[in-house]
Each structure stands twice: as C-alpha cells, then as structure tokens.
Amino acid sequence: MYLHNIFTRTHSLCKCHFVRKISAQITERKFDNRKYQYDLLVIGGGSGGLACAKETALLGRKVAVLDYVDPSARGTTWGLGGTCVNVGCIPKKLYHQAALLGKAIKDSKSYGWNFDESKIIHDWGTLKDAILGHVRSLNWGHRVQLKQKNVDYFNAKGSFITRNEVEILHKTGKKENFSAENIVIAVGGRPKYPDIPGALEYGITSDDVFSLEKPPGKTLVVGGSYVALECAGFLTGLGFDTTVMVRSICLRGFDQQMATLIANHMANDGTKFLHGCIPLKIEKAADLLTVKWESKDKQLHEDTFNTVLFAIGREAYTKNLGLEKIGVEFHPDSRKIVGQNEQTSVPNIYAIGDVLLGKPELTPVAIKAGRLLSHRLFGGSTQEMDYENVATTVFTPLEYGCVGLSEEEAIHRFGDNQIEVYHAFYKPLEFSLPQKDASQCYIKAIVSKTNKKIVGLHFLGPSAGEVIQGYSTALRCGFTLEHLQQTVGIHPTCAEEIVKLNITKASGLDPTVTGC
C-alpha cells in the first residue's frame, strides 16, 4: 500500500527520476530505525572498493568508503582511486605508449618521414607531468562520482574495532568510529622489498617510478614479474640503460614459452638481463647506488646504477586492519584474505580485489567482483563472480595477451596427450617497411582433444590487449577449434592470424606464416 501510494503520487515524473525517488523514500524509511550508521562500509577506495560502494548507493543503500594511502618508503603518495589509477595500469600504459611512440618515430623514416634523428630527445619531466596531470583528473573524477552517487567518502584509514565497527583515522589525526551492517575489505596490496641492506633506504618500487622528479637514468629492475618486465620495457624504450635481474624464471604463472619469447624480444630491444641472480646489498656513494649480487654459480658481482627498482611481488595491505581481533581468516605469509564468494570467515565481512587469496590481481576482476557482491547483498541477485577465463595483457614492448590456460596448466589439467596446440609465427604487415624483426610474433591456441574446446589462447604482437579481449567472451561461450577455423579474418591485420591457425605443434611442421 505504501509503495502503491508513492507510485501514484509520482506518476508524472520520468522513469529514472521516479525509481530514484522511490528508492530514496524506501531507504529513508529503513534508515529511521537502522541499527548501524551504514548499510555498507568499504575500506579501500581502489578499483574494487569504489565499484562496490557506487553500485550499492545506486541500489538505494547508505554507504561510506574510506581511502587512505600510506606513503611509500620514498615518501610517494597519491589520490583517490587506488593502485590502478595512481601507480598501476594507467600510468604504466601511458609510459608504455610513450615508449612505443619513440619507436614509431624511428619506424616512420621508412614510411617517408624525413628528420634529423640526432635531434630527437625525450623529456622525462614533460611526460611525468602530463601523466600525473591525467591521474589527478581521474582522482577528481572519482570524488565527483562518489558525491553524485551519495556515497560518503572519507580520506581516512580504517581498522576494525568489532565485526560491525571501524575506527576511522583522519589525516588530521582525528579519530571517530563508524558502525555498519556489512563491511567490505578492499585494501589491495603494496609492493614488497627484499630483506637486504640498503633496499628500503635506496630502492624504489612501482609506487615511485611513475612520479620520479628526475629521470631514472641507468636502472636495475629486480624481479621477473610482469610489473618488472613492463617497467623495464618502457624504461628501455625511453632510452634508459636498463637491466633486469631475474632470480629464476620470467613471468611465473604465465605460459613459459610465451615468457621466453617476451624476454628474448626485450633483450633484442636493448634491455639487459641478469638471469639466475639475487641482490645482496645496495650502498650509496654520492648519487650512485652500488649493487652487489650473487649469480647461480655463487660468484659475486657488482655494478653501479642511478636507480634500483624492486618489482618482486606485492603483499596484501592487511597488517594494521585488526583482522586477528575480529577473526577474519588470512594467509599467514601473503596476509591475503581467505574467502569463498568474497565472503570472509566472518559472516558480515567481505573481501574483494587484490586482497583476496588466489584470485587474478587485475582491475576489471576487482570491479566486477565488487559490483556482483553489491547486487548479491542488496539487489536480491545470486550471481557469483567467475574468476575463470579472465583475459589479461602484459604491456611489454611486444605486447602479450592471453586468455584461459597456459600450455603447462593445460597439460597439468588434462594430460600431455589430451591437448593439441595450434601455433604460428607471423609477421605484422607494419613491420615490413622498417624491416623489423618479427621472430617473436607468435600465436598459439591450446585445444582439448576430448571436446575440441579451446582452453587457452596466447598472442604475442602489437595491440595484444585489443586482439585478445573478445576471445574471453568466446571462451565463455564454449569456443571450439571448429568455431575458430570457420571464422573469416579481417585482412590485413595481425588478429587474422589467429583465425588462420592450422598447424599443430605435434606435426613438427614449420609454423611460420608465409603470404596472405
């Protein structure tokens, strides 16, 4: 009856205004006798936290989001939006683009552009300021969106007092307590430092590299992670003498044939690699950093660098959240939260994004999980997050996009003789005039022999992210080898080489594509 009255009173309004008004009235009514200040409190205003908070507000609930950035060891700090916006995907992709443009300038000579190459210089300060300017506009955009959607935002650090109460520490040092019926932990992670002398004092991480006041100069990147390779790739591309120190393998967790091709391409592109090495010590004299390290054969080595960047993985930022106090279960080493369907071991507390154990650490994953959780909590939905077949791209100088299983994982899951690998080495047409080396441009599709379904697709080449995105939909729809081979390509593109795959690894035939 109450709803009916509201409907009849507001019949002349447009539909969306109408729905908003109704939900506001319902919410107001609910708030009158609410037990807690908020229906939902989100700790962490990054990709996942913001998405979950905004979606919940759209569903008419009272929401608050807390976001606070502890300065990095070098004192770097940033605005609202979390890792992706400030010190991850966004600045990374823009630095990558800057490096690609540098190469395109050189390539353009073979397309008839005429200029004096010795006059081409790159200005780090101009690029850094432009990127930080863009990032600040995104920070502002997030604040505006929260305001427009009626989400209460606090630039403050949260920690648990009880399962329904969070202490808020404002920047000014002021403390207050908020209560909420449901709490989402979306605090993400921060880069790790190795426990060696000088690392914390002199080293930087991805938290600092994008906003360095001075150009990084000769740089040592420690780690074989995707963050390490991406940073080394763009630093090399911008003209810095760059070395990557890899302890064991590159890109653990990714397809290892693709990882090797990526590292080979980077080495040909000018990045130096120290394989099987671990850093022991960093010392500083004048403005130079002397790094001592040990190689696999136990030999000691040293060299000097202007910058040492550690990209040795990330740890969940849960140390000061008070999880122990309220009984939220977490992994003892990574401090990541253990959860099933984003539900932690405490019924009204949830976790999304990078902080969740065993899930892909990617922005769209955090966003989707946050939105779906909101709809399950407040929208009557039962839809769960599906973490399978999430496509991703490594933005190394030659980009790598993939979806589904690596060859190693496929063999592990189905057995060596239960999969067929279709592959091809191809030459992007754009590489022809500058006569660029295409020996790492490679594609492979991993097919289950049982049902002919494609269980993994890997593409190494220009614009890999753009090429591979649609295939994650295809894999979700039960994509088979037959579907692939029936597809007509777009000519002349690199992507068409995927639908032309017809040579299996097992055949031993040369997989190099010749002609159209």
Summarize as ranges the residues that interact with ligand FAD (CB under 6 A): 43-49, 66-69, 82-84, 88-89, 92, 157-158, 186-188, 206, 227, 317, 321, 353-355, 361-364, 366
Local structure of 153: helix, strand or coil: strand
Write out the binding residues for ligand NA7, residues 260-279 only, by CB under 6 A: 278
- Residue number with CB closer to ligand FAD (158 or 404): 158
Our answer to whether residue 412 is catalytic in this structure is no
Interface characters, 112-141, with ligand NA7 (x: CB under 6 A)? ------------------------------
- 405 touching ligand NA7, by CB under 6 A: no
Which spans in 37-185 are helix H?
A: 47-58, 82-87, 89-108, 124-148
Sequence-ordered strand ranges (E) for 364-460: 392-394, 400-404, 419-425, 442-448, 454-460
Residue 214: which residues within 8 A CB-CB, separation 6 or more?
124
- 436 touching ligand NA7, by CB under 6 A: no
Give the C-alpha separation, 243 to 224, whole Å: 11
**Using CB distances below 5 to 8 A depending on partner kind, what does residue 495 bind out of ligand FAD, ligand NA7, none?**
none
Write out the binding residues for ligand NA7, residues 182-221 only, by CB under 6 A: 194
- Residue number with CB closer to ligand NA7 (56 or 205): 205
Binding ligand NA7 (rule: CB under 6 A), the pick from 231, 263, 308, 312 is 312
**Using CB distances below 5 to 8 A depending on partner kind, what does residue 186 bind out of ligand FAD, ligand NA7, none?**
ligand FAD
Q: List Cα–Cα distances, 242 to 72, 200, 273, 398, in angstroms.
A: 23, 20, 9, 17
Q: How far is the CB of 391 from ligand FAD (least distance, A)?
A: 10
Interface characters, 226-255, with ligand NA7 (x: CB under 6 A)? xx-------------------xxx--xx--
Q: List Cα–Cα distances, 44 to 48, 72, 108, 318, 322, in angstroms.
A: 8, 17, 45, 11, 15
- Residue number with CB closer to ligand FAD (232 or 438): 232
Residue 390's nearest CA partner among 360, 414, 366 is: 360
- Residue number with CB closer to ligand FAD (22 or 94): 94
- 505 touching ligand NA7, by CB under 6 A: no
Residues counted in the chain = 516
- 296 touching ligand NA7, by CB under 6 A: no
Residue 497's nearest CA partner among 472, 463, 452, 451 is: 463
Query: What six digits make up the tokens of 263?
Result: 């590292």
Q: How far is the CB of 278 from ligand NA7 (least distance, A)?
A: 5
Burial class (CB in 10 A: 0-12, 13-18, 19+), 345: middle
Local structure of 275: helix, strand or coil: strand
Which positions touch ligand NA7 (CB under 6 A)?
194, 222-227, 247-249, 252-253, 278, 312-314, 361
Which residues are part of the catalytic machinery?
Answer: 491
